[in-house]
Chain A
Amino acid sequence: MSDAVLDIADLTIGLPPGADRASAVQGMNLVLRAGEVTCLVGESGSGKSLAARAVLGLLPPRVGVAAGSIMFEGQDLTKATPAQLAKIRGARIGMIFQEPMTALNPLHSIGRQIEEVLSIHTPLDRKARRDKVVALLADVHLPEPARIARSFPHQLSGGQRQRAMIAMALALDPKLLIADEPTTALDVTTQAQILHLIHDLQRSHGTAVLFITHDFGVVADIADQVAVLQRGVLVEAGPRDAVLDNPQHPYTQALLAAVPRLVVPQRAPQQPGIVMLESIKARKEYRQRALLGRGRTTVALDGVSVALRRGETLGLVGESGSGKSTLARAMTRLLSIDSGDIVLDGDEITRTPQRLMRPHRQKIQMIFQDPYASLNPRQKVVDVIAEGPIIHGLPRAEAEARARELLGLVGLDPSAADRFPHEFSGGQRQRIGIARALALRPQVLVADEPVSALDVSVQAQVLALLADIKARLHLSLLFVTHDLRVALQICDRIAVMRQGAIVELADTADIYHAPQHPYTKALFAAVPGAAWLQKEAAHAAP
């Protein structure tokens, strides 16, 4: 079990001039052994993906290996010609990417794409290739493999596509599998299944796996070895349990400390306040019009009733397509509903026309998921934050003064006011988004996955900021998330959504200790690293 498959020695990857640092990866040493999963962990910009792409000889233009070697089967991949690399890729080294939709060609059937790998690298004839494709799809536990082989990527779910990608990567029984965040785009329950699958296949084939991830929960579930990358430097490497339970480097310690624990923090019990925001039997359908006959109807909200009380944080938890974001947008009237009612602070606003919504808008504000898309790139930060008050009639000078004040409140330097959004990191942009939402002095905040696009250490800071602001300004917070760990940290009550309906709604402590609905139980079981997190929590408890 100890023969080295891949030996990365002293690898340095240079970046073009003008980048934030001279080299993406600096003097990295890493050995991958057969039958072992090595997790390369790091935050965004740590160089983890570039390191993997260097192994495959797929570095982007103007980025190149500056020094060091990558030995694979007695050959230095940094010196291999493109033709040699092409022989190795797919045949000896398989790869899986983060987003299976973009990694698959939408115009070719799944079967044809897997067949292509076989026809490039093997002498098999057409019939033999077909049979092999079906066998491979069966190996990754896809139902009806023959039908899946005829399907096109858009006809499969995200999890099925990722299974097909794995089948393709393992088609030729490679010695090494490189997986770049293969489960990040998937729902937790699907993620758990895919992790299991990779783990099983890798054990039975004796493949070495280089698994790139930012999530320590995933590391706890799948890794044998862990390597931690900080700004291009490998700061810590070792067996999983040693690194997770006894991290040596301060950076690893900080990263691990920032991972949200699977526990319910102690909170002072609250008096239930009056209802601030309520959805009563909200229903929303999307009709897909077909060329002939009747189109398909998707029910995004299936008569959802939920109430947010003054001063509480209510979590909406669910997987993609559960309707949680639709509900959040419907409750802020960014989206109209087909039937049902939305009541904000005693006023029914379901069908209020947009121009009459303005007085209500002041009471309810939203924080968005994507810190890059949610700020207008052409507006200065001060204008972004001051826009709301100006729309609501505050003189510009006062609005700008309020904006500068808010920058301090969300923990940004006052000098940020006169810069443009692109000069800030994701976490800082999210703080700007929070300041914009607070500028109107709302009573209700709706946060739609506000931390899911952020690195784990930044995530912790932004969550702490939100909790602090909520308490200080006596806000009510509707918090949408796919991550149960995050919901446990911040919410007083949690509503679990599935297929447009709320399946369970209870106090956070109750839902954690005694989940009632089978789907809630499944969600808890699928949390990456659940076992490790519970062990940690037990340690932490007095």
Chain B
Amino acid sequence: MRAAMQRFARNRMAVLGALVIGGVVVLTVTAPLLYPAGAFTLAGPPLQPPGARFLLGTDALGRDVAAGVVQGARTSLLIGLSAALSAVLFGSLIGALAGYYRGAVDIVLMRLTEFFQTIPAFLLAMLLVVIMSPSVLSVIIAISAVSWPGIARLVRGEFVALGGREFVLASIGLGASGPRIIFRHLLPNCVSSIIAIGSLLVASAILLESGLAFLGLGDPNVMSWGLLISAGRVTLRSAWWVCTFPGIAILLTVLSINLIGDGLNEALNPRLRER
């Protein structure tokens, strides 16, 4: 693991990404100190351009854009991380069962996975949020529901590849039960791939969340980047700053997470580099 961290530290782009995400995390933590009034308060006159009083200007209702961006960061990270985490857990479980037991279990689970993969992810997420009524929890559920199939296929593939290895046969020979082989022997050997792909899921979850919020399907009581862009959309020509700054925030965050993900992938699977 230490060697992997060293390899990660040698990857400049990945370290840059980690620094940006570190900055975003610091912002979310210090948000209540920076903007104690919150993002929904009317802080001043509407549509003020960026300046000394309002660093990033104000929107059509006179809310501070800077406060919105900082508060939105918390929503994005929270939803991105929890959606990715639950997708990874669920996808790993499905993939593990399919890859270990094979046969009928495999066929049923993989057809289910394909069913989810063939429906456009964003439409399905929208549908799920509408059915469950918009809230932070429903957005998380909807995003993880459309994100797990990739992980499931990955884990299944790794399991199938590892299944014939002699250490698995040795465990069967010792009398080990199925769950023991799955959780003690097979899953730990896929962890590095799961971490690498899972980190990329965080980025796509943030994008999905922004998209949902932009369409008004986010939690209306929670400030998010998508909501800000949605609010600024009508004044795009007269007040460019309302949409632009949350957009830049999304761009930077998603890009940085992708860089970290690639860095992790290379650091944890060093064989990829030599190909």
A: residues with CB less than 8 A from B are 61, 329, 332, 334, 354-355, 357-358, 361-362, 365-366, 368-370, 373-379, 387-388, 391-392, 433, 436, 440
Contact = CB atoms under 8 A, between A and B. Distances in A.
Contact of A354 (B165, B167, B172, B189): B172
A202 B177 CA distance: 56
Contact of A369 (B166, B174, B189, B274): B166
B174 A391 contact: yes
B172 A374 contact: no
A375 B185 CA distance: 10
Contacts of A370: 166
A316 B269 CA distance: 39
Given A369-B166, A374-B166, A376-B185, A387 B173 contact: no
24 contacts: A334-B169, A334-B173, A355-B177, A361-B173, A361-B174, A361-B175, A365-B174, A366-B169, A373-B166, A374-B166, A374-B167, A374-B169, A374-B170, A376-B184, A376-B188, A378-B189, A379-B188, A387-B174, A387-B176, A387-B184, A388-B174, A388-B175, A391-B175, A391-B176
Interface in B143-184: 165-167, 169-177, 180, 184
A378 B188 contact: yes
A373 B185 CA distance: 12
Contacts of A365: 173-174
Contacts of A436: 170, 174
Contact of B172 (A334, A376, A379): A334
Nearest to B174: A388
The DSSP consensus for interface residues of chain B is helix
Contact of A357 (B166, B167, B175, B180): B175
B174 to A, nearest CB: 4
A392 B177 CA distance: 11
A368 B170 contact: yes
B166 A368 contact: yes
A426 to B, nearest CB: 13
A391 B180 contact: yes
Interface of B: 165-167, 169-177, 180, 184-185, 188-189, 274
Contacts of B177: 355, 391
A357 B173 CA distance: 9
A392 B189 contact: no
Contacts of A332: 173
A370 B175 CA distance: 20
Nearest to B171: A387
Nearest to B169: A334
Contact of B189 (A357, A376, A433): A376
A512 B173 CA distance: 33
A357 B174 CA distance: 10
A368 B167 CA distance: 9
Given A334-B172, A368-B170, A391-B177, 13 more contacts: A334-B169, A369-B166, A373-B165, A373-B166, A374-B170, A375-B170, A376-B184, A376-B188, A376-B189, A379-B185, A379-B188, A388-B175, A391-B174
Which of A365, A373, A375 has its CB near the most chain B CB atoms (within 10 A)? A373
Nearest to A334: B169
B57 to A, nearest CB: 52
A375 B174 CA distance: 13
A391 B174 CA distance: 8
A440 B174 contact: yes
B175 A433 contact: no
Nearest to A378: B188
A373 B165 CA distance: 6
Nearest to B176: A391
A370 B169 CA distance: 12
Contacts of A368: 166, 169-170
Nearest to B170: A374
Contacts of A358: 175
A480 to B, nearest CB: 13
Contacts of A334: 169, 172-173
Contacts of A377: 189
B105 to A, nearest CB: 15
A422 to B, nearest CB: 11
Contacts of B184: 376, 379, 387
A366 B189 contact: no
B175 A362 contact: yes
Contacts of B166: 368-370, 373-374
Contacts of A388: 174-175
A433 B174 CA distance: 12
Contacts of A374: 165-167, 169-170
